[in-house]
């Protein structure tokens, strides 16, 4: 008897960078701290660039300044939870001005 594989859940959320300095080292580290709490895979898109959402260097290479929109695409059972936490992190502007 074959077992049917359940397809992994995919969740997508576009977030606005609102903090003054954009996604530099500290916000990138905060994003990675959130994404690493979850098993879901995640990538981040800005313009035509796509990076691993669990990579500080990748996130910094997006050069996401204030006012930029970044799209998170997470795949896995806890994808929706991950994006909810990321949305809260962006909403509080990474605890910056």
Residues involved in catalysis: 24
CA 28, 70, 17, 12 dihedral sign is negative
Q: Is 68 exposed, middle or buried (0-12, 13-18, 19+ CB in 10 A)?
A: middle
d(CA 60, CA 54): 11
Which tokens in the block code for residue 16?
A: 């606005």
């Amino acid at each position: 008897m074959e077992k049917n594989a359940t397809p992994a859940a995919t969740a997508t959320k576009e977030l606005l960078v609102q903090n003054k300095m954009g996604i530099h080292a500290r916000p990138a580290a905060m994003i990675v701290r959130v994404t690493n709490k979850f098993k879901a895979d995640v990538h981040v898109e800005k313009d035509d660039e796509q990076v691993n959402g669990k990579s500080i260097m990748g996130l910094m290479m997006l050069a996401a300044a204030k006012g930029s929109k970044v799209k998170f695409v997470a795949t896995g059972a806890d994808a929706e939870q991950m994006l909810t936490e990321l949305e809260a992190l962006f909403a509080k502007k990474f605890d910056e001005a």
